[in-house]
Chains A and B, each alone.
Chain A
Amino acid sequence: MKDKMAKALLIIGVLFILGSVLVYLQPWQGQVDAETRNWQLTLVGRDGDEKVLSYKDITGLPAYQGKGGFFSTIGIVYGPYDAKGVTLEELCEQVGGIVQGDAVMITAKDGYSTVLDYEQVMGEFITYNSELKEVPHPELKTILMYKQDGKPLADEDGKPFRIAVVSKDQGLLNEGTYWVKWVNKIEVLNKTP
């Protein structure tokens, strides 16, 4: 009887430890959920051509990896993060490309949007250090991020797609207004008169 009890306690103990290890490692974090798998990103070209891409389509495009973070209206700094995604330039190419003078409107699921001019699409931004002093960073890229610090984005970080401004350099920050979360539409605006 005592042996049975001891065995039962031993099993409970093992399960307890296994559970704790699982909660600690959170192996499911690297997986994408159904919402992400079913997300649709609409690309609209400067001539009105439209293309809808899935998460799988996006992650299958050539990827860019860099570092970047942002600060809020009141100066709270988030990041920098290791960011992986597809450059906006590459996404524009998917629907016919972008030319100097054009702009790109980024729209999110929550109704927020921002407009980037051609130079910003190509990565031309004023950048900052952690004290919010203006410091140039080389080779900036504007990307549609789908992995942050090696993991798919959490909902509060804009799951599954967020705009990020990154470079190979360390410590880059820029304004959070450009880091649009929950992106579901990218539209090239033809500004040719």
Chain B
Amino acid sequence: MSARKWVYAFLLVAIILTATGCSRTDTRQDNGKVELKVIIAGSLMVPFQAIEKEFERDNPDIDVLLEGHGSVQAIRCVTELGDIADLTAVADTQLIPAMMYSTRIPGSDTPYADWLVKFSANRLGIAYKDESAYSSEINADNWYEIISRPDVSIGLADPRIDAMGYRTLMTMQLAEDYYSDNTIFERTIGDAFNPPLVVSEQGGDFNIIVPEIVKSNQSRVKLRSYSIQLMALLESGDLDYSFEYESVAKQRGLKFLSLPEAIDLSSPDYNKQYRQVEVNLDFKRFASVIPSFKGTQIVYGLTIPENAQHPGEAERLIEYVLSPDGRRIFEQCHQPLLATPVCDNVQALPESLQPLFR
């Protein structure tokens, strides 16, 4: 072989080596699809995963990339941590105005969002298994008596970290009024903490103060950072009962005890009562979020951030979520859509979505 042929052979090897992955620079196969980044609350993961599957089948030009967080963190990803999301959906609609309407995109006067769609709701209740102690006895009239028994273990999500945690405190406090028994809060969970949770009343409104450090001093009350940890304990039989959203408990195949609407944070008809309870955290986890939460109906909200890269595709996804197919999928995932989704600022909505709210 001549010198020139050697050189060509050498060059060929060099090119092949580079092309076949000698380089570690990330590469992605260019399939022409739009990558639609959707940041959502953890409790929406199951229905959105089901939506993703059918939506992508019907929209082969779009690849939905789901990312789940706690609701506050889901919004912080957009407003504080520099993530570019095409759609954000959270488990507490109040967070969108509080954190996105009031925050400007750096270098502009434009807020991160100026509209939201309320699209789904949920209810707080008690998840359990057939094997849970006294499972054959528990019902909507005696649950607080059962879960305060010394031989029954209950799980609580940390109110400083998980919205389920502070919502559980609200439900326990509302239960006192509903069942006319002002020992419920203390008997079930209130006396299990050191330092204690402090409840004060003024004119029929209750303020629950959660200290900076929260620890359970009773082995029967298991406090964990996230509700997902409690579900794992329930499934393994290490826990008898845990407060949980109806959708999550049913998606995991657990039994779910519904509580009266007056205390389960599910009904707009009881918003006035829900608002009588407020939880204030002594611990400020996020510099940008005031840790004060008033009781209200659990409603899920979504929006397209103003700096989304693919707003048109995000609009198509929202249309799909709100379509009869989306409604069926959410229904199958035990998280029904609202009978009539509501937009708080129809004029600001993208044009393609406006007809859905007229």
Instruction: List chain A positions with a Cβ less than 8 A from chain B.
Output: 2-3, 6, 9-10, 12-13, 16-17, 20-21, 23-24, 26, 72-76, 103, 110-115, 117, 126, 128, 132-134, 175, 177, 189, 191
The interface on chain B, measured as residues whose beta carbon lies within 8 A of the other chain's beta carbons, has a size of 43
Q: List 10 A-B pairs, minimum CB-CB distance, nearest first.
A: A111-B287, A74-B42, A74-B68, A175-B225, A20-B22, A16-B14, A13-B11, A73-B70, A23-B23, A13-B14
Q: Supply 8 further A-B pairs (C-beta < 8 A) apart from A73-B70, A111-B286.
A: A10-B7, A13-B11, A16-B11, A20-B18, A74-B228, A115-B212, A128-B229, A177-B161
Q: Which residue of chain A lies nearest to B285 when distances are taken between CB atoms in the complex?
A: A113
A23 with B24: in contact, given A103-B212, A110-B80, A111-B287 (CB under 8 Å)?
yes
Interface flags, B143-162, vs A, CB<8A=1, else 0: 00000000000000000011
Q: Which residue of chain A lies nearest to B69 when distances are taken between CB atoms in the complex?
A: A73
Q: Taking the nearest CB of chain A, how far is it from the CB of B73, in angstroms? A: 7
Q: Which residue of chain A lies nearest to B43 when distances are taken between CB atoms in the complex?
A: A74
The 8 Å CB contact of B25, one of A23, A72, A115, A191, is A23
Within 8 A of A (CB), among B22-62: 22-25, 42, 45
Q: Taking the nearest CB of chain B, how far is it from the CB of A98, in angstroms? A: 14
Q: Which residue of chain B lies nearest to A21 when distances are taken between CB atoms in the complex?
A: B22
Instruction: List chain B positions with a Cβ less than 8 A from chain A.
Output: 3-4, 7-8, 10-11, 14-15, 17-18, 22-25, 42, 45, 68-70, 73, 76, 80-81, 161-162, 212-213, 215, 224-226, 228-229, 232-233, 236, 238, 283-288
A91 to B11, CA, bound (A): 55
Which residues of the partner chain A approach B228 to less than 8 Å between Cβ atoms?
Answer: 73-75, 132
Which residues of the partner chain A approach B215 to less than 8 Å between Cβ atoms?
Answer: 117
Which residues of the partner chain B approach A72 to less than 8 Å between Cβ atoms?
Answer: 68-69
A134 to B155, CA, bound (A): 14
CB pair A73 B226 closer than 8 Å: yes
Which residues of the partner chain B approach A110 to less than 8 Å between Cβ atoms?
Answer: 76, 80-81
Q: Which residue of chain A lies nearest to B44 when distances are taken between CB atoms in the complex?
A: A74
A26 to B232, CA, bound (A): 41
CB pair A17 B45 closer than 8 Å: no
Q: Taking the nearest CB of chain B, how far is it from the CB of A77, in angstroms? A: 12
A13 to B17, CA, bound (A): 11
Which residues of the partner chain A approach B22 to less than 8 Å between Cβ atoms?
Answer: 20-21, 23-24
Which residues of the partner chain A approach B213 to less than 8 Å between Cβ atoms?
Answer: 103, 115, 117, 191
A177 to B80, CA, bound (A): 17
CB pair A112 B285 closer than 8 Å: yes
Q: Taking the nearest CB of chain B, how far is it from the CB of A104, in angstroms? A: 10
Q: Taking the nearest CB of chain A, how far is it from the CB of B142, in angstroms? A: 29
Can you list 20 residue pairs at the A/B interface with Cβ under 8 Å?
Answer: A9-B8, A13-B7, A17-B14, A17-B17, A21-B22, A23-B23, A72-B69, A73-B42, A73-B69, A73-B228, A111-B80, A111-B286, A111-B288, A112-B285, A112-B286, A113-B284, A114-B285, A117-B215, A132-B228, A132-B232
A53 to B283, CA, bound (A): 26
CB pair A73 B73 closer than 8 Å: yes
CB pair A9 B212 closer than 8 Å: no
Q: Which residue of chain A lies nearest to B68 when distances are taken between CB atoms in the complex?
A: A74
Which residues of the partner chain B approach A132 to less than 8 Å between Cβ atoms?
Answer: 228-229, 232
A149 to B340, CA, bound (A): 51
Which residues of the partner chain B approach A113 to less than 8 Å between Cβ atoms?
Answer: 284-287
Which residues of the partner chain B approach A10 to less than 8 Å between Cβ atoms?
Answer: 7, 10
A24 with B7: in contact, given A16-B18, A17-B17, A75-B228 (CB under 8 Å)?
no
CB pair B69 A9 closer than 8 Å: no
A114 to B281, CA, bound (A): 13
Residue among A12, A111, A126, A189 with most chain B CB within 10 A: A111
A134 with B238: in contact, given A26-B24, A73-B68 (CB under 8 Å)?
yes
Q: Which residue of chain A lies nearest to B74 when distances are taken between CB atoms in the complex?
A: A73
CB pair B7 A9 closer than 8 Å: yes
A117 to B194, CA, bound (A): 12
A177 to B287, CA, bound (A): 15
Q: Taking the nearest CB of chain A, how far is it from the CB of B247, in angstroms? A: 14
Q: Taking the nearest CB of chain B, how far is it from the CB of A119, in angstroms? A: 9
CB pair A73 B162 closer than 8 Å: yes
Which residues of the partner chain B approach A134 to less than 8 Å between Cβ atoms?
Answer: 232-233, 238
CB pair A24 B286 closer than 8 Å: no
Q: Which residue of chain A lies nearest to B73 when distances are taken between CB atoms in the complex?
A: A73
The 8 Å CB contact of B15, one of A3, A16, A117, A126, is A16
A185 to B50, CA, bound (A): 42
